[in-house]
Every structure is written in C-alpha cells, then in structure tokens.
C-alpha cells in the first residue's frame, strides 16, 4: 500500500507534466553504494525460535539514488531505495527509502511522495519528531540513516523572514518498526494468547496525520513550535474474549502532541531545549491499561568542542506520566508499574583523527530511574573517497531483572536488555569521480 501510493504520486508528478521546455532539460543523475552489514551476538544467548543463530544481522545492500531537477531548478525529484539480501531470514527484498517530486516556488516548497522528515533538537531523544522510526535497524546496528522511516505525505513549506511554516500531511499511516522477537529478546506478556490481531488505522480523511512546525530566529535563538494530530507509533493492546477464548487486539491509539524547541550559541557551545506534551486521546483519564497515558517530555542539551576535532554533547531527558494514580489503579495484576517520572542522561563524544579519515564516537545513555544504561561505541575509517568501514558495538546493561510491564512499554525497552552486538559495515560508493550530468555547469 505504501509503495503503491508513493509510486502513484510520482507518476502523477513525473516531470513529463512540466512544460516542454523544462522537460527537455531534466538531467537525472544516478548514484549509489554497496554495503554489507553483519552483527554478531556477544552474549552467546539466542532467542527461542529465533533466526540467524549467532547473527542479529547479516545483509548486503545495493543503494540506488536517482535525482534530477528542471533547468530552473524549480521542479525536482528524488528516488532512493535499497535492494538487499537478508542472510539471516534468507530473503531478497526492496526498501523504497524516499521517492518524491517537488516544486520550489518563490516562498513555497511542495513535496509529494515518500520522504523522511526530521524535527527537533535531540540526539536520539525524540519529542516533537513524531515521524516513524525503525528501531530494529537501530538496535541491530545499521547506519543511523536507517533509524528514520519515510512517510507517504504531502509536505508544504512556507518561508519568510517573519515566519517559516512546515506542514506534513500523511494519509497513509506508518508505524515504528519494532525489533522482531525472532532476533531480539522481547518480553511479551501475551505470548500465550493464541489469537492476536493487529489493526492499523485505515486510509480515511479523518485518519490523515497532520504535523505542523512554525519556526523563526528570534535574537540569535532558533525557535520552533510544533503540533501533531495522529497516532502513537507503537501499538497499544486490548484484551477481550471471543466466546471464552482470550484475544489480543493491537492497535495504534490516537495521539495529539504539541511542543516547542529553542537553540542558540551560548556558554561557548550550543544550548538546546525542547519540550512537548503527548495527549493520549484514547486514554484521557489514564485508566486504559493497554494505552499509554498522556505525558510531558522535556529535554535539555549542551554541545561544545572540548578540543580540536573533539565534540561532546550532553543531554538530560525527563518523561512524566499524567494521571498516574489512574494508571496504577487500572494496572492488571502481575504487571510491574512504570515510574511516574523517567529520567535519562546521555553523553556523546565524537573525535576525528588523521584528517578525518578516522572517526571515533560513543553514545552513552543512563537512566537512574530505570537503573539501566545503553552504550554504542563506534569506529569508522574512510579507506578512500569511495570506501569506508565501520565498527559499532551496542551494549545494554540493566540492574533490574526483566519484569512484567505494560505491553507497549515492554516492547520499547525490552531489547535493551538483550543486545551486545558488534556490527561491521563495509560501504562502497558509486559512481566514479567527476562532474555528474546533473551538477555540471
């Protein structure tokens, strides 16, 4: 459905519909890369009924990226996708990352099709970036770009000195891609329930997600206001029975978010703040056990260069649940309660060496409320302009034993307890050097 819709939009917007003069001058350039990824478990433990043995990830990917613009530059398109062989599942498949056509006006920019949208100021803490993520990619060690999933959307942007407006309307719901139990250790309190159903929001006018960002500079400060009307991207669950047979229905509860961010040069570095409210429309009172409660989320961050080619980013993140008493009172027996407030601190260090041919980086996040830590050290080396190799290791340490939690939450956090996997990525970039047709004067 998503692929079909994206292709339909592209077909409509294909620059064949542009003026004849411009059509003749549409240079399309094709780029791409070959990439291999492999992640190996270091704990020696494997999920029951899992696939891949010692491997969480083993794949080869071919990226093809075609882009073009009209002579004026006002009409443009981009198609970017991977063909990959997944050695763990032993299948060959495709992944259309982005496919959009666009138009640039004097003040308006329009884009239709599949596109990746990233908002907010956090580094791996998402408050007002309500767009879908691929957590399985992230935890299995693929490069960071695979954390973001495209949305099949219409995006309209207006730019002026007084105010910039960015609106993304998405008729086709895209959920977060969550780690699969075939590759990750997941706690599923409903594993014994035979009948499980999944409902995604059908394509209907009232289900179109709308996200809005207003932004401008005020006194050296980059200020953004955000709003979003749509759905949680991790499913909630309802349990009922069908003639006495227990049944689990998973669905994506409705969600409205709004928030703000601000960022500026300060204290010899960059100071950022972001906050947002998550209004869980299907659980206003907080008494529905299978639907996340409404929340407040707040982030503060500080980035500075500690030395030449060495940058550090410190973040503090707090998430507070509303209607906590209702939540506690409605929690089914056997489930351990979430804390009312979750806090996480993180540090990212990035060091470039040897004319930036080597990049060392480490992201470490610890939560005093959850008593766990997550770390991803990474080394990447550029062998040439066309080839690089990357080694990344993912660590999760928890002082708590896994215990029953609400369904949605469990999925969000359980993988952390199971992974310690180095990933090796080898990437080779095409095409050969030299001006490409699309960029030549």
Partner 1 sequence: MLARIVFALMAAFCPLVIHAQEKLPAAEIVDRAQAAFYSAGADMKARVVMDLINADGKKRTRVLSMLRKNLPGGREQRYFLYFHEPGDVRRTAFLVWKYPEKDDDRWIFIPAVNMTRRIAARDSRSSFVGSDFSYEDISGRDLAADSHTVLREEKLGASACYVVQSTPKAAADFSRKLSWIDKTSWLPLKEEYYDAQNQLARVFTADKIEAISAGGKTYPTAVKRTMKNVQSGHRTEVVFESVSYDVGIPPEIFTERSLQQAPEKWIR
Please tell me whether residue 356 binds partner 1 under the rule CB under 8 A: yes
Spell out where 308-383 has E strands: 310-321, 341-353, 358-367, 372-382
Binding of partner 1 at residue 147 (CB under 8 A)?
Answer: yes
Exactly one of 50, 171, 269, 316 binds partner 1 (CB under 8 A); which one?
Answer: 269
183 binds partner 1 (CB under 8 A): no
Sketch the per residue contact string, 285 through 314, with partner 1: x for CB under 8 A, - otherwise: ------------------xxx-xxx-x---
Q: Which of 241, 245, 265, 325 binds partner 1 (CB under 8 A)?
A: 265
Q: Is position 37 an interface residue for partner 1 (rule: CB under 8 A)?
A: no
Is 148 a residue that touches partner 1 (CB under 8 A)? yes
Structure tokens at 19: 């003026």
Which residues 54-113 are close enough to bind partner 1 by CB under 8 A?
69, 72-74, 76, 102, 104, 109
Residues contacting residue 1 through CB under 8 Å, at least 6 positions apart? 172, 203
Binding mask 124-143 for partner 1 (x = CB under 8 A): -------------------x
Cα distances from 81 to residues 32, 99, 124, in angstroms, run 9, 8, 24
Where are the alpha helices (H) located in 298-428, listed in sequence order? 324-330, 407-413
388 near partner 1, rule: CB under 8 A: yes
Instruction: Count CA atoms closer than 13 A to 119's CA, side-chain side.
Output: 29
Q: Which stretch binds partner 1 (CB under 8 A): 168-176, 240-248, 288-296, 352-360?
A: 352-360
395 binds partner 1 (CB under 8 A): no
418's tokens: 């199971």
From the CB of 311, what's the least distance to partner 1, in Å?
A: 6
Q: Give the list of residues 6+ apart from residue 412 with CB closer than 8 angstroms, or none.
A: 234
Interaction of residue 222 with partner 1, rule CB under 8 A: yes
Considering only 357, 371, 397, 400, the residue that binds partner 1 (CB under 8 A) is 357
Q: Of 192, 202, 97, whose CA–CA distance to 151 is shortest?
A: 97
Q: Which of 5, 164, 180, 361 binds partner 1 (CB under 8 A)?
A: 164
How many other CB atoms sit within 10 Å of the CB of residue 22? 15
Strand-strand pairing, 75-86 and 358-367: unpaired
**CA gap 41, 427 in Å, rounded:** 22
Residue 244 touches partner 1, criterion: CB under 8 A: no
Distances from the Cα of 207 to the Cαs of 1, 27, 237, in angstroms?
15, 37, 19
CB nearer to partner 1: pick between 132 and 292? 132
DSSP alpha helices (H): ranges in 81-201? 135-140
Q: Is residue 23 close enough to count as binding partner 1 by CB under 8 A?
A: no
Contacts with partner 1, residue ranges (CB under 8 A) = 31, 33, 69, 72-74, 76, 102, 104, 109, 115-118, 121, 143-145, 147-148, 157, 159, 161, 164, 215, 220, 222, 263-265, 268-270, 272, 303-305, 307-309, 311, 352, 355-357, 382, 384-386, 388, 427, 429-431, 433, 435-436, 439-441
């Amino acid at each position: 459905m998503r692929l079909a819709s994206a292709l339909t939009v592209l077909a409509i917007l294909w620059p064949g519909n542009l003026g004849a003069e411009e059509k003749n001058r549409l240079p399309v350039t094709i780029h791409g890369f070959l990439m291999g990824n492999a992640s190996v478990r270091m704990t020696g433990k494997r999920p029951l009924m899992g696939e891949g043995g010692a491997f969480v990830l083993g794949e080869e990917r071919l990226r093809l990226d075609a882009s073009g613009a009209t002579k004026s530059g006002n009409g443009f398109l981009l198609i970017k996708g991977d063909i990959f062989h997944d050695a763990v599942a032993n299948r060959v498949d495709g992944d259309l990352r982005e496919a959009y056509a666009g138009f640039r006006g004097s003040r308006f920019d329009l884009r239709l099709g599949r596109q990746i949208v990233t908002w907010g100021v956090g580094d791996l803490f998402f408050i007002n970036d309500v767009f879908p993520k691929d957590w399985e990619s992230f935890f299995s060690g693929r490069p960071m770009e695979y954390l973001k999933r495209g949305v099949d959307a219409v995006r309209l942007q207006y730019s002026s000195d007084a105010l910039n407006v960015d609106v993304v309307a998405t008729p086709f719901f895209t959920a977060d891609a969550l780690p699969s139990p075939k590759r990750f250790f997941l706690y599923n309190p409903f594993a014994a329930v035979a009948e499980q159903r999944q409902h995604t929001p059908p394509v209907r006018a009232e289900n179109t997600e709308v996200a809005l960002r207003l932004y401008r500079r005020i006194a050296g400060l980059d200020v953004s206001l955000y709003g979003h009307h749509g759905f949680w991207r991790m499913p909630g669950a309802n349990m009922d029975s069908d003639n006495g047979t227990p049944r689990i229905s998973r669905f994506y509860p409705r969600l409205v978010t709004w928030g703000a961010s601000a960022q500026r040069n300060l204290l010899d570095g960059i100071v950022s703040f972001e906050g947002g409210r998550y209004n869980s429309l299907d659980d206003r009172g907080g008494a529905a056990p299978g639907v996340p409660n409404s929340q407040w989320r707040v982030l503060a961050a500080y980035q500075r260069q500690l030395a030449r080619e060495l940058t550090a980013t410190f973040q503090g993140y707090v998430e507070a649940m509303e209607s906590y008493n209702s939540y506690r009172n409605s929690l089914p027996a056997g489930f351990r309660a979430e804390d009312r407030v979750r806090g996480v601190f993180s540090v990212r260090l990035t060091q470039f060496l040897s004319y930036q041919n080597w990049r060392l980086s480490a992201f470490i996040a610890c939560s005093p409320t959850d008593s766990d830590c997550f770390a991803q050290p990474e080394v990447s080396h550029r062998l040439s302009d066309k080839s690089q190799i990357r080694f990344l290791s993912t660590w999760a340490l928890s002082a708590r034993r896994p215990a029953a939690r609400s369904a949605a939450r469990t999925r969000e956090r359980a993988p952390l307890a199971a992974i310690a996997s180095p990933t090796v990525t080898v990437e080779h970039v095409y095409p050969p050097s030299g001006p490409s047709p699309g960029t030549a004067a």
